[in-house]
């Protein structure tokens, strides 16, 4: 039966005559927030509700009576939608999957389900439903679970590593006079310095996984960005990048922890540098930094002309432990996101492959 239907879907369009569906049922389906497509046993589209033809960007007249091949050849439907319709057809009709999920060109999540069998009397009902809100809840729950696990893991690591390091440090200090007599005092200094460095790394990891409560003070946005540029411009030049600080129309003041805010902007600039160094072309890297007022908020933007990101990477960008870097920890952006949220703001990001990425930090201004 399935194979017969698959063949019939690919038949040319024919003149459509209205079936036995009653006006009452049609009115109910028209009011649904999901898109509905009903194909009969011959593969002809017999019903489509207004939500569905809005999703496809086609008129009801151009849809009714058509087959799948006629739908895919419709010049009014863009290539992206055709590709998703064809992929969904393959997944559900060819592979027998009951549903199929995809992300549209606007970043919205959709789920397509297929209802068929005896209860449909040979017909095939396709339902298109937007699930963006469900995906957001799912991702938020995943992030919260990951951050709880990260906090516990960090505390455990700090405890387990610091204890032996403290013991080693104590014994090296006891051996220091003997090493001095042997003329090997430098060995003791090197060992102590490396132990202190290891302790600093552990402390940074612990603080990054569990940011402290902000030490609130008034922060000049222009002063913050100018200081960050001073800290990073020499490193940027070494990596073939140029940092351009856009002029400020006015000085804007925010309330927050200066160290944490600096950590967020520095992290994004360093990410931009790495994205630029991974470009395939030899064009000069450019990082633009600036801020502007929008109502009661300031928008701080960091944009680059690096390698960019695809949709799948963007979806997971702020997840703890997710990284595309060979030696990355996957903590930088998840921690930055938490810091900004603790300051009453949010981070948004847009990106295109081989074109670049733009981060925007939105924070409330002090009036």
182-211 residue pLDDT tens: 888 888 888 888 888 777 667 656 665 555
Return the number of other C-beta atoms located less than 10 Å from residue 20's C-beta.
Answer: 6
The average pLDDT across 10-17 equals 49
Q: Give the span between the Cα atoms of 207 and 271, in whole angstroms.
A: 20
Q: Give the span between the Cα atoms of 60 and 46, in whole angstroms.
A: 11
Q: Give the residue among 242, 340, 227, 245 at the shortest CA–CA distance from 290.
A: 245
Q: Give the residue among 266, 307, 310 at the shortest CA–CA distance from 289.
A: 266
Q: Which of 145-154, 232-241, 282-291, 316-325 has the lowest mean pLDDT?
A: 145-154
Angle at 138 between CA 135 and CA 142, to 5 degrees: 140
Residue 155 CA: distances (Å) to CA of 151, 202, 204, 337: 6, 10, 12, 21
Helix (H, G, I), strand (E, B) or coil at 99: strand
> Tokens 């509905």 belong to which residue?
36
User: Has residue 302 got a pLDDT over 90?
Assistant: yes
Q: Give the span between the Cα atoms of 9 and 123, in whole angstroms.
A: 12
The overall average pLDDT reported for the chain is: 80
Q: Give the span between the Cα atoms of 315 and 45, in whole angstroms.
A: 34
For residue 152, the number of C-alpha atoms closer than 13 Å in the C-beta half-sphere is 6
Calculate what percentage of the chain has a pLDDT beyond 90: 16
365: which 2 tokens? 């201004």
Q: For the chain, what's the residue count?
A: 367
How high is the pLDDT of residue 245? 92
- How confident is the model over 94-153, as pLDDT tens digits? 888 888 888 887 778 889 888 887 777 888 888 898 888 888 777 777 766 666 676 667
pLDDT band with cut points at 50, 70 and 90 for residue 327: low
> Tokens 């940074």 belong to which residue?
204
Q: Name the residue with higher pLDDT: 243 or 24.
A: 243
Q: Tell me which H or E stretch contains 361.
A: strand 356-364
- How confident is the model over 27-85, as pLDDT tens digits? 777 778 888 888 888 888 888 888 888 888 887 777 788 888 888 888 888 888 888 88
User: Has residue 220 got a pLDDT over 70?
Assistant: yes
Q: Which of 157-161, 261-265, 273-277, 357-361 has the lowest mean pLDDT?
A: 157-161
Q: Give the residue among 141, 65, 57, 45 at the shortest CA–CA distance from 105.
A: 57
Cα first-last separation, the chain: 69
Q: Give the span between the Cα atoms of 290 and 30, in whole angstroms.
A: 48
Q: Considering the entire predicted model, what is its pTM?
A: 0.49
């Amino acid at each position: 039966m399935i194979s017969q239907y698959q063949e019939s879907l690919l038949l040319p369009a024919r003149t459509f005559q209205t079936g036995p569906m009653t006006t009452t049922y049609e009115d109910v389906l028209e009011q649904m927030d999901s898109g509905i497509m009903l194909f009969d046993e011959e593969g002809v589209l017999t019903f489509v509700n207004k939500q569905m033809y809005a999703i496809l960007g086609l008129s009801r007249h151009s849809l009714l009576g058509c087959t799948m091949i006629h739908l895919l050849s419709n010049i009014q439907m863009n290539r992206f939608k055709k590709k998703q319709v064809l992929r969904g057809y393959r997944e559900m009709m060819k592979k027998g999957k009951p549903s199929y999920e995809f992300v549209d060109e606007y970043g919205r999540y959709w789920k397509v389900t297929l209802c068929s069998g005896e209860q449909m009397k040979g017909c095939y009902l396709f339902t298109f439903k937007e699930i963006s809100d469900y995906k957001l809840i799912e991702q938020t729950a995943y992030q919260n679970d990951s951050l709880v696990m990260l906090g516990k893991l960090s505390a455990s690591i700090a405890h387990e590593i610091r204890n032996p390091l403290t013991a080693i440090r104590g014994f090296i200090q006891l051996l220091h006079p003997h090493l001095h007599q042997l003329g090997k005092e430098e060995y003791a200094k090197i060992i102590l310095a490396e132990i202190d460095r290891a302790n600093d790394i552990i402390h940074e990891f612990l603080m990054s996984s569990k940011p402290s409560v902000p030490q609130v003070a008034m922060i000049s946005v222009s002063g913050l960005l100018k200081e960050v540029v001073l800290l990073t411009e020499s490193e940027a030049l070494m990596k073939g990048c140029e940092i351009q600080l856009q002029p400020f129309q006015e000085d804007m003041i925010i309330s927050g922890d200066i160290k944490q805010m600096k950590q967020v902007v520095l992290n994004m600039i360093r990410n931009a540098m790495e994205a630029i160094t991974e470009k395939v072309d030899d064009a000069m890297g450019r990082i633009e930094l600036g801020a502007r007022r929008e109502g009661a908020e300031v928008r701080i933007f960091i944009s680059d002309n690096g390698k960019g990101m695809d949709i799948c990477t963007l979806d997971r960008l702020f997840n703890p432990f997710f990284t595309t870097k060979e030696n990355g920890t996957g903590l930088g952006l998840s921690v930055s996101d938490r810091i900004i949220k603790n300051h009453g703001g949010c981070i948004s990001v847009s990106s295109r492959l081989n074109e670049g990425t733009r981060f925007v930090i939105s924070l409330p201004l002090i009036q």
